[in-house]
Amino acid sequence: MSLHQVEMWFFLPLMLLLYWAGSGRRVWQNAVLVLGGYFFYWTWDPRLVWVLALATGVDYLLGRWMGLAQGKPGHRKAALGLSLVYNLGQLAWFKYMGFFAHSFNDLMQGLGLSVSLPILQIALPLGLSYFTFGKLAYTIEVYYRRTPVCRSLLDFAAWVSFFPQLTAGPIVRPRQLLPQLEKGRRPHASLFAAGARAFLLGFLLKAYVADWLGPHMVAPVMDQPEGYGAGARWLALISYAVQIFGDFAGYSAMAIGLGRLFALELPENFNLPFLSQSMMEFWRRWHITLNTWLFDYLYGPLTMSRGWWRGRLDLGFLVVFGLCGLWHGAAWGFVLWGLLHAAALVVERRWGQFYKTLCRKDRAWVQRRRSWWYATVAWALTQLWFVLTLVPFRLHEPSALGGYLWGLLTATGDKLPPGLEGLRQWQHLAVIAAFLLLYHASERPLGKALWERFQASPLLLRGLVYGLVILYLFIFAPVSEGTFVYADF
Amino acid sequence: MLALKTTKKIRSGRSLAILSAVVCLTVILGDVLLSWVSPVPGKIMEVEDGVEMLRQSDPDILVLGSSHTRSFLPMRQMIQERSGGELEMALVPVEWGIFTSYRWVLFHRLAPLIDERRDEEAVRPSLKRALLITTFYDACKVPHIGNVNLPARAWRWSDFWSDVAQSGLTRFNRNFLQNRWKALFPGSVLVQNRGHDRVSEDLIRAVRPLSAQQEQENHQERVRWATRNMEEQFQTCWHEPELEALEDILAFFQARQIEVTVVLFPLLPEIVSQKSKETTLARYAAFAHSLEGRPYVRVVEMTHDSPMVDGDFQADFDHLTPEANPKFSRWALENKLPWLLEAP
């Protein structure tokens, strides 16, 4: 089941009806969420529902064990160890077994050895990476006593299987959702209104921006770049950046919106990443829940540990972002993408240190850093790097990757992507560009003021605007393939 | 991100209700206004209607096939009148169908009714003849269509759930839900046309109508495209699974001693080139005629020799207009299928 597809219009009203029939009753509401979540999962692949059920049961029991083993550090450590082994093992089996076997076989072939591992065809359970990271956060937090043990299996299962975040996040920490699930919820008008607005925003990003750009601007050029000049290739690459943003930020906004319709608040996952002026800022704005997870549970413990790793910040970046790349998918292209981001963070950190020495010598450097041109250059470099790293993110074959990058500089050709053919296509491009500008302008003072004025305007005006947006989507949003790019990760 | 933040501007359920009502009214009003520019297509006869027609009757003749089957609706009336109510016909049109779709409909939706027995007695003993309405297109390998029409046009909820239980929600079975969703809003142009670009095209034409010359050029371009398409389908319109499905359909009727007539439906003369006649159409016709001589099988060729002219076809270059259907039915009944009025 997909959040923006037709099935949601059958499923959601039924869920809301059942859920709010038990308003304020925790057990009823959580039972509805669990049943709905498992039904949602079942419609994706009926054969793999057990993966979700088993994963939920294992971490619930390990959490309870940790709770019962107060004063027995050995037991608590064993429980945490089991959780790590189970969750990472599950991830490795379903997601990476084929990748490692392929890589091993390629290596052996390269060395001229006739050793090979069997390649198993294993279906990847939906949202595995997301709920695995969520549950790992739970056992780690319980181990360090930052989160109380969840005593109710129903609450725990409702958290893990909450359907809006099941497909593609956000990665919800236990402390973000479990306390909300541990009490009954009552409907609230402002939450419903904000939920519907967030869902509409997400739908617009996914079903219009991403789903129009994909087939009209991105896929034709990036899949078969022959005949396209450097300009068309740059345009396709920039469009891909916007597509993937629309796809994933759109999904996240829809998930947040749906969460609010159930009076549950999910964490923000995107915060205008195209405004970032450094890669560090970028990662505070892009896939926020994954980034904070990696920094809290991997980078922090690694670089602040007592051992050899302590203080090796650059190496920490390489390891964490290499794994971040691997988290996105079992392909070396993703790993390269992660490492390129790590390299940028290393360069940025070193540049920051160097700049500090300049500032200490001459305070004029402080002013320079605050100037508009410094911000512009920093913004352009950050965005350029992000866009360029998307080439290995999409094209995993080394020859295709190299060819595309080289073509960005040298390709000649007069083919145009379908999105530039005809006035009607230009209309979509213009609307998408205007929408993205407005969307990002909402963070600037003028944009904030305008948004506030709109929010304070009469209900009739607001209703009319929302209605017109829905009308536009009905007429122009293409009926898509029904998948989210990030649902595959 | 501001647009995601909750605000206190909507404090009460009343405010929310007013806001929701204004949104709904805007959308409904927009829908009504747009339906003036781009009218909702009228309801057409579908598999479900055909199944119901069969369920309610004990027909002598069953007409199964693609959407062209609907052109036989006036013939149903004519047969009833001319036989003095003695003969009855039931029609099951499978929109966007190919042979595998007809087989599915026959085996899953029609067979239980054809074979239905009550107290050891056949409920519909009169069925002695069947017409299978086809064109060369029914033997095509159409990867982007496949038999995707089935969930949308022929499935019941039980078919949908059993498919979901087997393979989850897929692009294929989602078509069932799409159609159910559309059925909930039959009068809404926004729901009916979503994803088809029809509303935007009609809007543009309403604002900036095409000149007669542009209309003519567009028409010629479409004719060229359709002609080329038919010529090129020589490559793809010979798909073994479709031919096997046809064999299964014939075997089904033969096993029940029901005479089946394979009808090659007329094509729009304007798009049939000499090259198509010699390639795509010739091969299909030869194949169809090779079926003649089998027990309980007849073949009736109407592709080129019907009195249907270009103006009798709809703008989709495929279907006859509602006005042309009686003309077709009359001609077919009198010239090509006169034995339908005789006792089997």
Active site residue A102: no
Cβ burial of B104 (10 Å; 0-12, 13-18, 19+) is buried
Spatial contact of B129 and B60, defined as CB atoms under 8 Å apart: yes
A191 close to B (CB below 8 A): yes
Chain A residues in contact with B148 by the CB 8 A cut-off are none
**Contacts of residue B339, Cβ cutoff 8 Å, sequence gap at least 6:** none
Q: What pLDDT band is residue B59 in, cutting at 50, 70 and 90?
A: very high
Spatial contact of B140 and B98, defined as CB atoms under 8 Å apart: yes
Query: Does position A46 have pLDDT exceeding 70, yes or no?
Result: yes
Inspect the interface and report whether the beta carbons of B22 and A463 lie closer than 8 Å. yes
Digit-coded pLDDT (tens) for A116-170: 777 777 777 778 888 899 999 999 999 999 999 999 999 999 999 999 998 887 8
CB pairs under 8 A between A and B: 137
Find tokens 């959601």 and name the residue: A12
Tell me the C-alpha distance between A124 and B87, whole Å: 58
Distance of CA A115 to the CA centre of its chain: 38
Q: Mean pLDDT across chain A, nearest whole number?
A: 88
Tell me the C-alpha distance between A369 and A41, whole Å: 50
Q: What is the mean pLDDT of residues B235-263?
A: 90
DSSP class of residue B92? E
Chain B residues in contact with A8 by the CB 8 A cut-off are none
Query: Does position B28 have pLDDT exceeding 80, yes or no?
Result: yes
Spatial contact of A157 and A81, defined as CB atoms under 8 Å apart: no
Q: Hey, which residues 294-333 in chain B have their CB within 8 Å of chain A?
A: none
CA distances from B251 to B39, B61, B114 (A): 43, 17, 14
DSSP class of residue B95? T
- Nearest CA-CA distance, residue B35 and chain A, Å: 12
A379 close to B (CB below 8 A): no
Query: Does position B6 have pLDDT exceeding 70, yes or no?
Result: no
Inspect the interface and report whether the beta carbons of A189 and B165 lie closer than 8 Å. no
Inspect the interface and report whether the beta carbons of A201 and B2 lie closer than 8 Å. no
Grouping H, G, I as helix, E, B as strand and the rest as coil, residue B103 is helix
Element at A3 (helix H, strand E): none
Digit-coded pLDDT (tens) for A412-445: 888 888 888 877 788 889 999 999 888 888 878 8
Tell me the C-alpha distance between A41 and A51, whole Å: 10
Q: What is the mean pLDDT of residues A324-330?
A: 83
Query: What pLDDT, on a 0 to 100 scale, did the predictor assign at position B210?
Result: 83
Residue B300 CB: number of other CB atoms within 10 A? 16
Inspect the interface and report whether the beta carbons of A44 and B171 lie closer than 8 Å. no
- Model pTM? 0.85
Give the nearest chain B residue to A41 (CA atoms).
B168
Inspect the interface and report whether the beta carbons of A478 and B195 lie closer than 8 Å. yes
Cβ burial of A364 (10 Å; 0-12, 13-18, 19+) is exposed
Inspect the interface and report whether the beta carbons of B200 and A253 lie closer than 8 Å. no
A193 close to B (CB below 8 A): yes
- What are the φ and ψ backbone dihedral angles of B301, each rounded to 5 degrees? -95, 120
Q: Hey, which residues 232-271 in chain A have their CB within 8 Å of chain B?
A: 253, 256, 260, 268, 270-271
Q: Which residue among the candidates A4, A216, A328, A428 is catalytic per the annotation?
A: A328
Give the nearest chain B residue to A7 (CA atoms).
B177
Please state whether beta strands B121-122 and B117-118 pair in parallel, antiparallel, or not at all (unpaired).
antiparallel
Q: Hey, which residues 67-86 in chain A have their CB within 8 Å of chain B?
A: none
Inspect the interface and report whether the beta carbons of A191 and B204 lie closer than 8 Å. no
The amino acid present at A364, given as its one-letter code, is A
- Nearest CA-CA distance, residue B31 and chain A, Å: 8
- Helices A153-160 & A26-44, crossing angle to 10 degrees? 40
DSSP class of residue B86? -
Residue A249's nearest CA partner among A229, A277, A280, A275 is A275
Lowest mean pLDDT among A28-42, A68-82, A100-114, B176-190: A100-114
Tell me the C-alpha distance between B72 and B89, whole Å: 9
A436 close to B (CB below 8 A): no
B166 close to A (CB below 8 A): yes
Tell me the C-alpha distance between A90 and A124, whole Å: 10
Inspect the interface and report whether the beta carbons of A192 and B3 lie closer than 8 Å. no
A34 close to B (CB below 8 A): no
Inspect the interface and report whether the beta carbons of A190 and B6 lie closer than 8 Å. yes
- Nearest CA-CA distance, residue A45 and chain B, Å: 5
Tell me the C-alpha distance between A436 and A445, whole Å: 17
Give the nearest chain B residue to A265 (CA atoms).
B6
Query: What percentage of chain A carries pLDDT values higher than 70?
Result: 97
Digit-coded pLDDT (tens) for B158-188: 999 999 998 888 888 888 998 888 889 888 8
**Contacts of residue A189, Cβ cutoff 8 Å, sequence gap at least 6:** B10, B11, B12, B13, B15, B16
Inspect the interface and report whether the beta carbons of B2 and A443 lie closer than 8 Å. yes
Give the nearest chain B residue to A479 (CA atoms).
B195
Residue from A4, A6, A186, A208 to probe the interface with B (highest B Cβ count within 10 Å): A6
Inspect the interface and report whether the beta carbons of B22 and A45 lie closer than 8 Å. no
Q: Hey, which residues 130-189 in chain A have their CB within 8 Å of chain B?
A: 187, 189
Digit-coded pLDDT (tens) for B283-293: 888 888 888 88
Query: What pLDDT, on a 0 to 100 scale, did the predictor assign at position A488?
Result: 53
Give the nearest chain A residue to B11 (CA atoms).
A190
**Six-digit token pair at B295?**
């027990």
Tell me the C-alpha distance between B313 and B324, whole Å: 8
Tell me the C-alpha distance between A440 and A163, whole Å: 29
Please state whether beta strands B61-65 and B129-134 pair in parallel, antiparallel, or not at all (unpaired).
parallel
Query: Does position B93 have pLDDT exceeding 60, yes or no?
Result: yes
Digit-coded pLDDT (tens) for A363-396: 888 888 889 999 999 999 999 999 999 999 888 8
Sign of CA dihedral B278, B284, B287, B291: negative
Q: How many residues are listed for chain A in this entry?
A: 489
